[in-house]
Amino acid sequence: MVSAEGIVRDNEKTLELLHRGDNEKLFAVQIFVSDPATAAKAVRKLTVHRPDLFDLNCGCSVPKVLKGGCGAALLRVPYKITAILQAMREETERPVTVKLRSGWDQNSINYLDCAGAAEQGGAAMVCLHPRTRSQGFSGRARLDDLRVLKMHCTVPVIGSGDLFSPVDALKMFQASNCDGIMYARGALGNPFIFTATKKLLRGAREAAPASARLRLETALQQLRHTVELMGEQRACKEMRKHFCYYSKGITGGAELRALAVRARSIEDYENLVERFLHQDSFT
């Protein structure tokens, strides 16, 4: 997710977010924006990065984003969703899609109107996180909204919300008949969830959770990639929270987390993992 304003102004931090990994076969850019003219300019500028797909964010509930009339604020003005998508589509041949929440708050659930507005604007796909903006991440995702949306939409519908395991994904498919699912919190410290889900959906038995060794070695690999991107100091700080995610559910994970939040170098992390995997000398 990048700010369309940031793209138009060549903001350095915004451009940094467009980094594409060598192994990323498909590359989608989601913008947050409040008006069609800025959206069009941003898409025009983004074309040099050759995204396979552009997405419009109508779900973000971060106050700074909402204050600019972007993200979930667009749910209150569905006609703007149509206009922004039309403006984006005029600048690209690539598919333009949209990510919605169920509505602004409990008294204004309007995902069907918003999805209709998106279809009118030419959206090629609609993703729904079936919570309201005021819910943030609280309460449960409203799976029934997804089912109803799927019945009304003429374009593919992707479901998001409370997906923490392959079984959750299977249940979402079954309950809503949606065309795809999108992991979020469930993938933090758990990139194995994608392969495990594909396997389950193809009829295999549910996979055993990844071992502590695999999780921690993957965390180190992520750390090394992050160092390449932003240098050792910043990467080590950024990775603290990810080490916490990776160690969730591992026996002895609490001690590991307590030490990871003080790690300042790749060496600190490597020593930590090495010692953890040879528990005798840990702590």
Ligand X SMILES: Cc1cc2nc3c(=O)[nH]c(=O)nc-3n(C[C@H](O)[C@H](O)[C@H](O)COP(=O)(O)O)c2cc1C
Residues tagged active-site = 60
Q: Identify which of residues 121 and 189 has a Cβ nearer to ligand X in the complex.
A: 189
Cα 58–59–62 angle (5° rounding)? 115
Q: At what angle do helices 166-176 and 193-201 cross, to 10 degrees?
A: 50
Check binding of 103 to ligand X (CB under 6 A). Answer: no
Check binding of 30 to ligand X (CB under 6 A). Answer: yes
Check binding of 161 to ligand X (CB under 6 A). Answer: yes
Check binding of 97 to ligand X (CB under 6 A). Answer: no
Check binding of 166 to ligand X (CB under 6 A). Answer: no
Instruction: Give the C-alpha distances (Å, rounded to integers) separating 157 from 51, 54, 147.
Output: 21, 16, 10
Check binding of 34 to ligand X (CB under 6 A). Answer: no
Q: Identify which of residues 43 and 272 has a Cβ nearer to ligand X in the complex.
A: 43
Residues 45-74 that bind ligand X (CB under 6 A): 57, 59
For residue 80, give both structure tokens: 């703007």
Check binding of 112 to ligand X (CB under 6 A). Answer: no
Check binding of 28 to ligand X (CB under 6 A). Answer: no
* Contact call for residues 25 and 51 (beta carbons, < 8 A): no
Decide: residue 202, CB within 10 A, 0-12 exposed, 13-18 middle, 19+ buried.
Answer: exposed
Q: Identify which of residues 72 and 223 has a Cβ nearer to ligand X in the complex.
A: 72
Residue 126 Cβ, how far from ligand X at the closest point, in Å?
Answer: 12
Check binding of 185 to ligand X (CB under 6 A). Answer: yes
Match 């060598």 to its residue by tokens.
22
Of residues 41, 80, 129, 215, which one binds ligand X by CB under 6 A? 129
Residue 282 Cβ, how far from ligand X at the closest point, in Å?
Answer: 29
Decide: residue 95, CB within 10 A, 0-12 exposed, 13-18 middle, 19+ buried.
Answer: middle
3-state helix, strand, coil in the chain (%, to 5): 55, 15, 35
Contact positions toward ligand X, by CB under 6 A?
1, 30, 57, 59, 99, 129, 160-163, 182, 184-186
